[in-house]
Structure 1
């Protein structure tokens, strides 16, 4: 089980490892003013934020049946969210950028998002307050069109037909370039059939019916490297020259509520669930960042901004439907499900319990 845990963690972090290849591109997004950098980074990374939200809300339950008191199961699963076609590109002229950042070619305005094609986006020019071009950068290429994430959880049966679940991903540092990820979550499930029909009648009804909720909090930390343009000098002595602690700090809070119906057929239990899920994201570019604000392309000056990017918004909100099954083979469990939500996703894994 421990080896499987490590394997799934490694597989689920492929997207983050791939993101390291986009390091220079992500850094380039913060070469504009704080307001413009925030809009560019948000437009580029929103599919990553949505995908993580869908993943966080997946894999909580594969049956409406609750466990007997103190019975348990331990499961290791992985979810993969598929970025929609609509979220693979965006128009840089439609996100409210200031007049300081403009496409070098007015006909080239469509940029890939994190989930788009692996080709550089349009070249953007940066202008100072006098309309003088002082810097430029390409929008980064896409990284990966699916967002993977692991789920490791323990569920214990409580009295009154209720289960409690702890979901946890200890902090995993992929590498110094890619960064780290961690997660913790809590869930509850209650079998309402016996509340509706009573214990005796409930046994006669040919299916289980439950309500469930789940909350999870995920942390991401990714290093960045934004250095002054070649030859650029500080605007004055007040500008910081220490750019050693640059990184993205992301916090994602997800909530899911659903109604589950299932039917146990010997060792096979198919289920269907309908519910609502939401995810809020808070992402900050921490550290000091040099932004070219004066001069020319040959001789330029920069202004240092501290924590220039701050994104805080609800990135995911809507109805979701899940269909799948649980297979019990002795002490072992096998799980799989498909989700239709803002993004489509699949979840699969194994566990053990009683």
Structure 2
């Protein structure tokens, strides 16, 4: 189980962080590079926050004292039909040095880290020792350009029942490495079943709960491969924090049950661009930038989901679909008692 979870999560981050390989843009100067990187990575950060805010419950019926469940959870957040997240408008008038080779000075949509627009040529131009110097390069594409229209994740999760309808949860994965990407996560949750407070709760056909979950993800990716930029220790360190607040209702049948919830997601993604960046060509040649900038994206929104859970003794399977700014399919393989 751990091997499968390792593969899912670490592969996803190696692909996701690889799309942030925007260091050629430092050839336009650090201010332009920061502006481009902020707009380029924003949809990716948002999708990751929504991804990790899901998967906290598969029923509203809290476990009794001593009851437990251990789960392998997987999430797939799709963006295939979200054109507004796959692109962003780049207006050269908002940049100090960056402009398009074709139709310079005219704003156009370019690929975000989720997109698939390739072949967009830009240039920087300026005076060096009295001579006009011009350098052209291509803007990066995104995940869709690699044939990937979703952001996946996976982790281990455990739940234990306490007294009076209260259940505590934890999700965990140690920091793992795969093809230049390292990632780990830790999260804690709390569920309270209000129907357990009623004297005839076992006779009710449904359970109603509140669920709160917090997830902290830490990852980094080495992206030192670029044509125009030299240096050392070039990498992104990412910190993603999410809070999920949910009201959940579910049926209370022996074998198969259905559940649904309304929630609110809030979170923040911080990407620190670290290392030394030395521009080798163009008007900014020989400029050196050390730990140049940090990108922060705050996210919040309303979600709703519906799902089903099949219980076969100690073994349970669940799947649900969450609607929000980014939609997420969640599935779980669960082993539990009571």
Give the TM-score, by structure 2 length: 0.89
Alignment partner of 1:66 is 2:65: no
Q: What does 1:112-261 correspond to in 2, within 5 Å? A: 112-117=111-116, 119-128=117-126, 132-143=132-143, 144-175=148-179, 178-195=180-197, 198-200=198-200, 202-225=201-224, 229=228, 243-261=231-249
Gaps of 5+ in 1: 231-240
- Residue 100 of structure 2 corresponds to 103
Cα distance change on mapping 1:91 and 1:311 into 2, 3 Å: same
Match of 1:87 among 85, 88, 113: 85
- Residue 333 of structure 1 corresponds to 316
CA distance in 1, matches of 2:19, 2:265: 30
- Residue 319 of structure 1 corresponds to 302
- Residue 53 of structure 2 corresponds to 57
Alignment partner of 1:286 is 2:274: yes
RMSD (Å), alpha carbons:
2.4
Give the total of aligned pairs.
327
Cα distance change on mapping 1:227 and 1:148 into 2, 3 Å: closer
Give the TM-score, by structure 1 length: 0.85
| Alpha carbons 1:210, 1:259 under 8 Å: kept | yes
CA distance in 1, matches of 2:38, 2:292: 13
Segment of structure 1 superposing worse, 12-21 or 301-310: 12-21
TM superposition shift of 1:328: 1.0
Gaps of 5+ in 2: none
Q: What does 1:34-45 correspond to in 2, within 5 Å? A: 34-45=30-41
Cα distance change on mapping 1:111 and 1:37 into 2, 3 Å: same
Segment of structure 1 superposing worse, 30-39 or 303-312: 30-39
Alignment partner of 1:28 is 2:32: no
| Alpha carbons 2:278, 2:289 under 8 Å: kept | yes
| Alpha carbons 1:162, 1:188 under 8 Å: kept | yes
Deviation >4 Å, runs of 4+? 19-23, 129-133, 292-295
| Alpha carbons 2:42, 2:297 under 8 Å: kept | no
